[in-house]
């Protein structure tokens, strides 16, 4: 009976901390897998660019205003700015 409160506290921590982190990780993996040419993304370094080429885990981003092309890893993308594909 002395272990019941400890197990209850551990269960609460699991549902409040670990489950949301796992859910967010799955959403991020799903977003990274669904990246396409023409989408505007933000990297973990804060660079905003449009995807112009995808080669495996490497992405080529076009960064405005000078249309500079940068090559970044897929895992460096932190968020998607727009979901519509521009063609």
62: which 2 tokens? Answer: 């076009």
Q: Going edge to edge, which strands form the sheet with 58-63?
A: 68-73, 58-63, 48-55, 40-43, 77-80
Residue bearing the bigger pLDDT, 82 or 30: 30
Query: For 31-74, how does the pLDDT look when each residue is reduced to its tens digit (9 = 90+)?
Result: 999 999 999 999 999 999 999 999 999 999 999 999 999 999 99
pLDDT in tens, 69-82: 999 999 999 999 86
pLDDT of residue 25: 93
């Amino acid at each position: 009976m002395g272990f019941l409160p400890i197990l209850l506290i551990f269960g609460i921590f699991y549902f409040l901390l670990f489950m949301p982190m796992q859910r967010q990780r799955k959403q991020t993996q799903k977003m990274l897998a669904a990246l396409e040419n023409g989408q505007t993304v933000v990297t973990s370094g804060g660079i905003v660019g449009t995807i112009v080429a995808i080669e495996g885990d490497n992405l080529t981003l076009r960064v405005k205003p000078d249309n500079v092309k940068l090559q970044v890893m897929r895992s460096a993308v932190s968020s998607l700015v727009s979901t519509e594909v521009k063609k």
